[in-house]
Amino acid sequence: MPRTALLVSTALLAALLSPAVSQAADDPAPVPVDRFEGEVPFAGQPAEGIFTWGSDNDDPPQLALTARSDAPEGAEVLTGTYDISGYGGFTHDFAAGQPAHDWSAHKGIRFWWDGRNTGKKTAFEIKDGGANGEASELWTTSFTDDFSGWKQIEIPFTDFTYRTDYQPVGGIDQVLGLTGMWGYAVTLPVGVKGQFAMDDVELYGKADQSLRASVRTDAAVYPVKEGGAATVRVSVATTGSAPIDEPVTVAYESAGGTAESGKDYTPVKGEITFPAGTASGASRTVQVSTLKDKSAEPAETIPLKLTVTGAKAPTETPQVVIDAHGLPYLDAKLPLKKRVADLVSRMSLEEKAGQMTQAERGALTAQGDIATYDLGSLLSGGGSTPTPNTPGAWAKMIDAFQLRAQATRFQIPLIYGVDAVHGHNNLTGATIMPHNIGIGATRDPRLAERTGAVTASEVRATGIPWDFAPCLCVTRDERWGRSYESFGEDPALVKSMETIIQGLQGARSGKDLKDDDKVLATAKHFAGDGGTEYGSSTTGSYTIDQGITKVTREQLEAIHLSPYQTAVDRGIGSVMPSYSSLDILGDGQGPVKMHARADMINGVLKDRMGFDGFVISDWAAIDQIPGDYASDVRTSVNAGLDMIMVPYAYKDFRTTLIDEVKAGRVSESRVTDAVSRILTQKFKLGLFEKPYADTSGAAAIGSPAHRAVAREAAAESQVLLKNSAGVLPLKKSQKVYVAGSNADDLGNQTGGWTITWQGASGPVTQGTTILEGMRSAGGDVTYSKDASAPTAGYDVGVVVVGETPYAEGVGDVGNGNDLELTAADKEAVDKVCAAMKCAVLIVSGRPQLIGDRLAGIDALVASWLPGTEGDGVADVLYGKRAFTGQLPVTWPKSESQLPINVGDTSYDPQFPYGWGLTTLTKVPAGGTATLKTLAKAAEAADRTGSAEAGRAAVTQARLLVQQKLGQTLAPTTTKPFANADHLLLTGHYASAIASLTEAYRAA
C-alpha cells in the first residue's frame, strides 16, 4: 500500500476514535514542537534534547527514533519500552542558552499516541517560566490509554493544573504564562511492563480569553476569630500574562455552609468587574464580617460562592471559617486528660476515623481532602520533598496543609511525619549524621543524645513535629539491607544508645515536645525486624527484609523486646510495628505478621510495658496481612494500631474503618482509645495552640554548630581494626596517595535515606567528602580514584572503598548485593598496598569481607556511613582526634558464617564484637598483674554501683588484652573478648574483666 494511502487510513481511524476537531479560518497554523525525525537529539541541559529519568537505575524508559510506515507524520516516531517500579518518564527540554518559546497564541498542545488499550493513565506536563527546563514550573494533566492504535490527543492549556509538589528554585508565580515555555515531560504508568509510540507534538488552535483567563483567590480557607473579618483577595490572570481583552465579571455571594447568615456573619453579595485592558494579576478584595455571640461553638464555615463570566472560575469555592471557641479542649490551662476527653466526646465516628488515617502528601487527589476526610496526619515518604527543597519551602508546604485542617469542625491540626533517621535526611543542606550503626560504634550515649537534638531542631524548624526514628532493631544478620539502621547486634548496646530519644523529645514526661527544637520520636520496628531469617522474605526480590523472625519466647524477650521497654521508660511518643512476621517457637501460631499481632501490640507493648503513646503502622503494611481489605483494617486496628499509614488508600481506609465499626467488627471504644492516644500527643506538641511552622530555628539548619556535632560523631564512629607499625595516624609531612571509589563521593558516605529513599552516589547534598577533609586537614594529598596514577614517591596510601547507597530490602544480600568489595575496589587496594604502606577505609553500612587481603593491608578502618562531615574521618586519620570506636557488630570471615553474633556457641570471626584499637592513650603494661588490679577495681565498682569507675577499669583491661591478641585472633580469644563488651554494657564490670582475662590467657 502506498504511504499516502496509509496516512489517509490512519487519519480516518483517528477520526472515528476521537471527536472531530474543527479549525477556524482565523486559527494560526499548527506549530511543531517535536516531529521525531531526528531534528531533536537525545541530549540534556543546557543543550536542547530529549532525555529520560526515573526513581532508580531501572526506571528510566528506553527510547528510540523508529521508522514506522504508519507514522501519522513524517517517517519516524518516538518509541520506548518501560518497566517502572517507582517513577519514570522522559522530557524534551528546549536549549537553556536560547530564549524560551512563546505558546500564548495557541489554544493547546496535541500529539499522536499509539494506544495499547491498557486503561492506564499517562501524565503529560508542560514547563513554564523560570531560568530553563529544569528550573521551571510544572503544569500537569493526564490522558487514559483506553484505545487501540494511533489517536491524536488534544489538551487545551486550560486543562493543566499547577503541580504543588514539584516546583522550581525562584520565579514561582503559579500562573501559566505560556510566554516562556521550556518544553514538556511524559510520566509513564507504574507497575506494568509496557511500550509506547508517540509522534508529532504541536501547538494548535487560537487562544481566546474564555480559555486563557482565569479567576483565583489568594487562599482556599480563611480562618478568622469570631467577631473578626476575613479579606478574600480575588484576582484575574491570563495564560499569556497579557492584559485581558474583554471584561471579566465575578459575582460573589455568601451562601451555604454551617454558619448562620445574620447570626454568625453579615451576608455579602455583589459583583466585581475587571475591565478590558486590566493587567494580568490585578486583584480586588471582598470582606466578610463575622458576628459575636455568647455561646461556645465548633468552627463554622461560610462559603463565598463565585460566579465568573469571561474567564475560568476557581477550581474550588473559598471558605471563611469562624474559629472554634469557648470549648474546654481549647483551654490550654486545663489538664491534658480533660482536654482529650472533651474533644473526643464531641467527635463523630467519621471524624475519629479520619484522625486514624495518614496519607502521603503527594498522594492527595486534592488538598481539600484534608478537611473532607478529616485527615489526622500526612507524611513525606523517602524523597517526597517540595521543590525547591529548602527549609522555607517545607514550612510553606506544611503550613498550607495545616490551613486546610482549619476548615474542619474542631480544627484538629495535622501531625506531619518524616523519616529523619540520621538527621533531617530528606532536606538538601541539612546536617546528615552517621547512620545508627556508626552511632553504635561510638559507644557514646551522650553523643547519641546530641545527634538526636540536632536532628530534632532541624526537623521542627521546617514545620515537622514528628520523626519516624529511632530504629531500635537488633541486627543479627548482616545480609539484611537495613543493618545500618541498627545501633548494633547486642540489645544492651541498642539500649545504651536510646539516649537519642531524649535528644529528639526532651524530658521523659513530654513537657518539652511543644518547644521549637523537639519532635515526637518513634521506636521502630516492633519487634524482631533485625532477626528475620535469610530466605524467608516474600516481598518481591527481597531475601531477608520483611521476612520471618523465628525465636523462642526467651530469645524474643532478651534480644528483640528489651529495647522497647527502655524506650517506653524514656517516654517514647509513638511506636511503629515491623513489616516482618514473628514465629514464636512452641506457641502453635506459626508466622504472624506483626501488624496483626494483638498479643504483642495490645498485650505486651501497651498492657505489660505500659506504653501510653500511639502505634503507627508502616507504609501500606496492613496490605500484607492475609485476607481482604476489610479484614486487613479490622485485624490491624483490633491488634492495637492507632493510626494507619495508608499512603495512597486514605479514602478507602477511612470508609472501610467506618463500615467495620458500624458492623460491630471493630468496637467504637477501640476507635476512641486510638484517637485519644493520637490527640494526647498532638496536645503535648502544642499543635492546637501553634499549628503552623515556627521557623525561628531555620538559620541553624546545616550550621557550623550542628555540623560540628556530626563531625564529632563521624570521628568517634571510626573503628580501627588493624594498625601495623603505627601507620595511623598520618603525619601532615607525609606524601599521601589516596584512591578508591568512596574517597570523594558524598552520596556513598551518607548512604541510603539521604535526600531520596535509596540515596544515590555523587554530590547529593552539601557536605565534605573524606578526600576533601584530608585536604582541609593540611595533608599533602594526591588523588587517583582508580589508582591509575603513578604510585612512586609516596610515604603512605589511603584507599577508601566500600558500598554504594541502598535502603531496606533493596540492599539485601542476594538481591543484587553481596558483602564483597567490587572488582575496581579490590584492584585499587591491591595496587596501592603493593606499592607502599597503606590504610584501607571501608565506607559501608555493614562489614565487608576483607580477609583475603588483610595480610597485605597495614591499617584497616571500619568507617561505616559517616554522613556529610568527612572532616570527622580526616580528624582521626591525622590524629586531631583519637580512634576510639568499637565494633557494634561482629565482623565475619566469610558469608557462610552468617548469622554470627556475640554470645554464639560457635564464634570465630575476623574481628569480634567490641573490637577497636585506639590511638588515645598508651596501652597499660603489666599483663596479668595489671588485670588483677583492674579486676579488684571492677569488683569495687560493682559493690558501690560506680558505673564510671567500672567502665574505666574494663576499658583499660580491654586495651591491654587487645594489644596482646593483635591479629592472631582465634575462637578461644574472640568469644570471651566479645562477651566482655556485652558484660560491660550490662553493668557487670568484674565479670567483664574476668572474660577479658580468659581471652588474655588463651592468646
Q: Which residues are catalytic?
A: 618, 808
Which one-letter amino acid corresponds to residue 644? Answer: I
Q: What are φ and ψ of residue 67, in 5° steps?
A: -70, 130
- Residue pair 351/370 in contact (Cβ under 8 Å)? The answer is no
In the block, residue with C-alpha cell 579488684: 936
In the block, residue with C-alpha cell 472531530: 20
Short-list 127, 187, 192, CA closest to 162: 127
For residue 724, give the C-alpha cell.
601495623
- Residue pair 884/926 in contact (Cβ under 8 Å)? The answer is no
Which one-letter amino acid corresponds to residue 31? Answer: V
**DSSP readout, 856-887?**
G-SEEEEEE--TTBHHHHHHHHTTSS------
- Name, in order, each residue with C-beta under 8 angstroms of 966's C-beta and a sequence gap of 6 or more: none
Short-list 318, 262, 19, CA closest to 151: 19
Residue 494 class from Cβ within 10 Å (0-12 exposed, 13-18 middle, 19+ buried)?
Answer: buried
For residue 300, give the C-alpha cell.
463554622
- Name, in order, each residue with C-beta under 8 angstroms of 643's C-beta and a sequence gap of 6 or more: 355, 356, 357, 358, 376, 377, 614, 615, 616, 617, 674, 678
Count of other CB atoms within 10 angstroms of residue 791: 17
In whole angstroms, give the CA distance from residue 174 to residue 15.
35
* 3-class secondary structure, 771: helix
- The verdict on whether omega for the bond into residue 892 sits within 30 degrees of 0, i.e. cis, is no
In whole angstroms, give the CA distance from residue 953 to residue 145.
72
For residue 28, give the C-alpha cell.
494560526
Q: What are φ and ψ of residue 251, in 5° steps?
A: -85, 135
Count of other CB atoms within 10 angstroms of residue 945: 9
* 3-class secondary structure, 602: helix
- Residue pair 529/486 in contact (Cβ under 8 Å)? The answer is no
Short-list 183, 233, 184, 241, CA closest to 212: 241
The region that residue 807 occupies, defined by phi over 0 for left and psi between -120 and 50 for alpha, beta otherwise, is beta
In whole angstroms, give the CA distance from residue 896 to residue 292.
76
Which H/E stretch holds residue 391? helix 391-405
Count of other CB atoms within 10 angstroms of residue 301: 18
- Name, in order, each residue with C-beta under 8 angstroms of 22's C-beta and a sequence gap of 6 or more: none
